[in-house]
Structure 1
């Protein structure tokens, strides 16, 4: 096993960071690593906003659900799906690109491109001995996030990435079993097999929470997911995206 795979397999989210900023060189390496990710048809449909202003970070922490590690970290990156530059390309080349930019396909491309870039950035950061935590809570209130970051039309902040020197490192959360995630040649159709795998995973997760909290938590994964999915969140998203000239067709 090589060091890259060891870094990948050793991942865990870090939510407590030292009050120590990343160096300019570290930031550049992380962003350059993000840019090295695969991109659909060379479209490079994303942008990264590094937030260093203390007041902005504090406001983002509040918008994300009062997550303190959004404000206290070594550096905070916001990954944005971005087709604004491609609108400008249409103007520069005197070509009508609106129908393409408003398509669901290009919306998927921009989101996938941003996610691939972010994961490259995360692995690069962890390979440098830093900790990371993805922050999806920015989508709690995208209108305010967009206003704060002054993002133009056709740019959607998708999530944040808090990076820094770990002050505390938690145990790794057990993932779904290999046999449940990986399907050979075709999707597993036997519901009893699928539910059986989930029940086994529930036992693993319940044991994990019990050990981590000294018996205070023993919930199962399916129970946790069912509770979360029974309470729809961020239901404004469809209209918000369409208002930004995206995913309309």
Structure 2
């Protein structure tokens, strides 16, 4: 097993960072690693905003659900799906790109490009001994976050990424078994899922029981169905339409 795979398999979210900021060389390396990710048809439909202003980080932390590590880290990145520069490219070439930019397909492209870039950045950070934590909570108040960051139309903040020097390491959460997510030559019958989920529930329950000293032993299916029992962030559809996404 090589060092890259070892780093990947040791991933865990870090939510406690030292106050030491990342230096400019490290930030440049992480951005270059992000840019090396695959991108659909060379479109590069993403932008990365680094937030260094303390007051702005505090504001984003509050908007993300009062998560203190959004403000207290070595560097906070916001990864955005971005077709604004493509509109400018259209102006340069005198070509209308409006319909394509508003299409659901290109929205998927933007999300995918941003996510691939972010994961490259995260892996690079972890390979350097840094810790990371994705912050989907910036979508809780996505219009306010867009306003704080000064984002124009056709730019959507997908998630944040805290990066920094870990104060302590959290436990590594067990993932679904290989048989629960990898299927050859087609999708399995429901009974295979049921068997796999029962096996995984036992693993997750034991993990929480050990981690909390017996005060928590919930299963994965109970945790996830509880989360999915109601619709969250119902504002997303109207936000995307107002910002020039998914109109076609």
Pairwise TM-score range, normalised by the shorter structure: over 0.9
What is the match of residue 151 of structure 1?
151
Give me the whole-angstrom Cα distance separating, in 2, the residues matched to 1:58 and 1:219.
Answer: 33
Q: Deviations over 1:36-92 (max 9, x none)?
A: 000000000000000000000001111110100000000000000000000111111
C-alpha displacement of 1:216: 1.0
Alignment of 1:217-232 (within 5 A): 217-232=216-231
Give me the whole-angstrom Cα distance separating, in 1, the residues matched to 2:190 and 2:146.
Answer: 43
C-alpha displacement of 1:192: 1.4
Q: Deviations over 1:199-239 (max 9, x none)?
A: 11000000000000101110000000111001211011011
Give me the whole-angstrom Cα distance separating, in 1, the residues matched to 2:203 and 2:192.
Answer: 17
Q: Give the TM-score normalised by the residue count of structure 2.
A: 0.99
What is the match of residue 246 of structure 2?
247
Give me the whole-angstrom Cα distance separating, in 2, the residues matched to 1:143 and 1:114.
Answer: 18
What is the match of residue 235 of structure 1?
234
Give me the whole-angstrom Cα distance separating, in 1, the residues matched to 2:136 and 2:193.
Answer: 28
Q: Give the TM-score normalised by the residue count of structure 1.
A: 0.99
Alignment of 1:71-220 (within 5 A): 71-188=71-188, 190-220=189-219
Mark the runs of 5 or more structure 2 residues left unpaired by the alignment.
none
Give me the whole-angstrom Cα distance separating, in 2, the residues matched to 1:240 and 1:73.
Answer: 29
| Deviating 4+ runs (over 3 angstroms) | none
RMSD value over aligned CA atoms? 0.5
